[in-house]
Every structure is written in structure tokens, then in C-alpha cells.
Amino acid sequence: MTLNIAIIGAGPAGYYTAEAALKQWGGTAKIDIIDRLPTPYGLIRAGVAPDHQSIKAVTKRYEGTSLGQNVRFIGNVMVGRDVSIEELLGLYDAVVLSVGAPHDRPLGIPGDDLPGVIGSGAFVSWYNGHPDYAGLQVPLSHHGVAIIGNGNVAIDCARILAKTTEELATSDIAQHAIHALESSAVRDIHIVGRRGPHQASFTTKEAGELGHLSRAQPLLRAGDLPPEEEDAGLEPGHRKMVTHLRGFAAAERSDKPVTIHFEFFRRPVAVEGDGKVERLIVETTRLEDGRAVGTGELHAIPCGLVIGCIGYRTSTLTGVPYSDALGRFPCDDAGRIYGGLYASGWARRGPSGTIGTNRPDGFSVIEAIVADGIAPKNGEGGTGLDALLRTRGVRSTSFADWQVIDAAEVTRARPGAPREKIVSVAEMLSLIG
């Protein structure tokens, strides 16, 4: 008998889980990768920075998985709306939730609901052409932007805001974002972090890129840097990143029109403005035993846009336990939620790591399914799902349908760009008939 496995989410975690299942069972398992969008690849398509095309090459690996005989991509199907978890558990022998963490954590400070406060997940999805965020209003008429967070996502957001359209010409940034950035008034981009350079989680590559932008200069206060001899205690990669920051601090002010200000030792305490964002209030901090402690000294950062890069939450699903404290499904280290239901990727461990970090996750959850003795139970698998969706009038998409959409996007590309993303689900579906 054939083992039927459903994987919910067609991003990196979903594809690595499918790859692990194929290595474990080969032709004796059928794997359906289900996604609510008509297109696969999740964060590779809508989360990776559009000017980092080399990272997106991993989709070729995922394509190979999708073209295998025992794997199907089923798009435009939303679990919880078109089909329930309970129904999937009845059809499949095991169900793995690889849905990521698409929702931004709120800032949790006064004024964080003002127009002009946007989470990084929404902002990144906007410039990447995610259908849910193509119509997002991103105010760029003020000279200032405050980006809260000291990780690579904060740098990605700053870099996209700082680059010229010529620098973005070879990217797959969405056309609506290009138009908005062309008329942007942003000249001061503030990257705000509670602690100092040694505690920042930027990687060397992302930090270094800021030193090579044609119209923007990164700056930081030399006094925010610890004594240079303390760098010796850092990991080599982190030490190299801090070296970039030291270079930014030592550089003379140029005549470039855009400045990226590293605001270390600044704790956001409020967003203020008359009906919209006008300033971010920050408190100066100091480190005590590695913790940022407020000093009571307040500063205002003038800005019309605040982007929060402070973490993400997994979507809730009817019938699946959820931890508000964790912002994800509660499960054990291997990804077990309850009988036959598992999680992998960010849905299992929270939003951490790189694209490749999801690969061992996929193998771990398949090992758990094996250890649990999950066996074929005469469920209908994909055949039953197809029949159920037909009765509900749900128009699902296949990997072949995605290839049609893909070809159309490549054909529409601007000169030098890899593709022009279609940002409307209705338009995608009309393309495939």
C-alpha cells in the first residue's frame, strides 16, 4: 500500500520535507504539497531580497522535487477555508504543517497602530509582489524612515529604500515598488537597536553591502563601538561584520544624498504623530549583564514610516493547538503536534535561521513519522482531496499551471530583470484558463 503525506506550505520547509520523504520512501509514498497561493516557493519568492538573486537559485532544486512522479504541487487551496485539518487527517496518513510565520509581531508601544507603522513581513512582501500586499500603502513622502531591529531583515529593508532604480534593474522587485521608490523623498534611514554592535545579528555580507551603494552612506557614532580589543572575543564572521561597522564610523561624511544611520543603544518607546507617523521616540540604553537598560534619556527620530523587524508569528489553524507566547504551534523537538500531525520549519521552531536551516528540519520530521510507525490506513490521499475540492468549487493549480505563470512573468520582465511578477491571483488564474 502507498503512504499518503500532505505537506501544507510550498516554501523551503515544505520542499525540504518532501525531499526527505522521497529519500525515506521513494516510490512507496505519494506527497502532496498544498499552498494557498497559485504559485510555489513561499519566502524564496516573496521574502528573499529581490536583489539577492543567487539565493533564489535554490528553486531549481525544489523544481526537481516537484517534477518527480510521486510529488504534486496543489496551489490556490487554503487549509482552514477550502479544506480542514480534520479532513486532511482523514485523507492522508500524515500531515505536516510547513506554513512558516507570515504575520508580523506588533511593536507593543504607544502609537504602533498609527498609519505609517508597517511590519517588515508586510513591507518585504510589498516590494516582492506578494498578492496579499501589492496594494499596501507605503508612505515615502517624508525624508525619514525608522527601521526597528538589528538583523539582516532590517538591513534588507534599508538597502532597498536606499538603492537607485538602476541598482535594482537586475532584480525581480515588483513594478509597483519601483514606481514608488522612484518618487521617494526618503533621505535618512535609521536602523534602531536596543543594544550595541557586538550584539547585532547582521551577517558580514549584508553589512558590507551597505558600503557600496551608489547614493547612500552608512554612518554610526564611534562612541557606540566598544574598544577594538574586545572584538577578539567574537566569532570570526561576527568580528568581520563589526569591522565593517568600524569602517562606517571612521569614514568621512560624503556628499551622497541618502544616509543610513545605525542607531545603537536606542530603545523604541513610542510612535507619535497627528493621525499618522511623524516621529519615533527612543530611549538611550546601556548594557548591564548583556541586557539593554533604559537611562531615561529620550530622543525623537523624525520619520514618516516605521518598519518593525522584531519577529513573526505563525497563522492559527482551526483544530490545531497554538501558543500565543511562542507565536507558533506547540510541538516537540522533532515536530510532533499530535497523532499524525507534525510541523517543520518556522512553524516548528519559530522564525530563525537561514533557508538551508529548514533542510535538517524536514529530515527530522520524517524521522519522527518513521519512529511513530505511521503506516498506510486506506485513506484516499490526493484522489480524495481532488474530489472534495471539486464538490466545493475550488480551482486548484498544478505545477504545470505554475510553469505557465512562470513563463508569462519571464516574458514580461523589464530589460535586465529576471521576471516581472504577477501580483494578482485573479490574473494568474485567468492565464491558466
pLDDT tens per residue across span 320-348:
999 999 999 999 999 999 999 999 999 99
DSSP 111: T
pLDDT given at position 26: 87
pLDDT at 404 over 90: yes
18-31 average pLDDT score: 94
78-89 average pLDDT score: 97
Band (243; pLDDT cuts 50, 70, 90)? very high
pLDDT given at position 354: 84
pLDDT given at position 100: 95
Whether the CB-CB separation of 216 and 258 falls below 8 Å is answered with: yes
Q: According to DSSP H, which parts of 59-187 are helical?
A: 59-66, 85-91, 120-128, 152-162, 175-182
226-231 average pLDDT score: 96
Whether the CB-CB separation of 36 and 73 falls below 8 Å is answered with: no
pLDDT given at position 69: 85
- How far apart are the two ends of the chain, measured CA to CA in Å? 35
Whether the CB-CB separation of 14 and 8 falls below 8 Å is answered with: yes
- What is the residue-wise DSSP string for 251-304? SPP---SEEEEEE-SEEEEEEE-SSS--EEEEEEEEEETTEEEEEEEEEEEE-S
Band (27; pLDDT cuts 50, 70, 90)? confident
DSSP 105: P
Q: According to DSSP H, which parts of 77-191 are helical?
A: 85-91, 120-128, 152-162, 175-182
- What is the residue-wise DSSP string for 341-383? EEE-THHHH-S-S-GGGHHHHHHHHHHHHHHTT----S--HHH
Mean per-residue pLDDT over the chain, rounded: 96
Domains and CATH numbers, the chain: 3-102+314-432 (3.40.50.720), 104-308 (3.50.50.60)
pLDDT given at position 166: 95
User: 3-state DSSP call for residue 147?
Assistant: strand
386-391 average pLDDT score: 97
Q: Are strands 29-34 and 3-8 parallel, antiparallel or unpaired?
A: parallel
Residue owning grid cell 521574502: 47
Count other Cβ atoms within 10 Å, centred on residue 264: 24
pLDDT given at position 431: 96
pLDDT tens per residue across span 36-70:
999 999 999 999 999 999 999 999 999 999 988 89
Band (253; pLDDT cuts 50, 70, 90)? very high
pLDDT at 11 over 90: yes
Band (405; pLDDT cuts 50, 70, 90)? very high
Q: What whole-number distance in Å separates Cα of residue 397 and Cα of residue 7?
A: 15
Cell numbers at 129, concatenated: 509582489
pLDDT given at position 379: 84
156-173 average pLDDT score: 97
Please state which of the ranges 51-65, 212-226, 273-287, 392-406 shows the lowest mean pLDDT.
Answer: 51-65
Count of residues making up the chain: 433
CA-closest candidate to residue 153, choices 119, 103, 196: 119
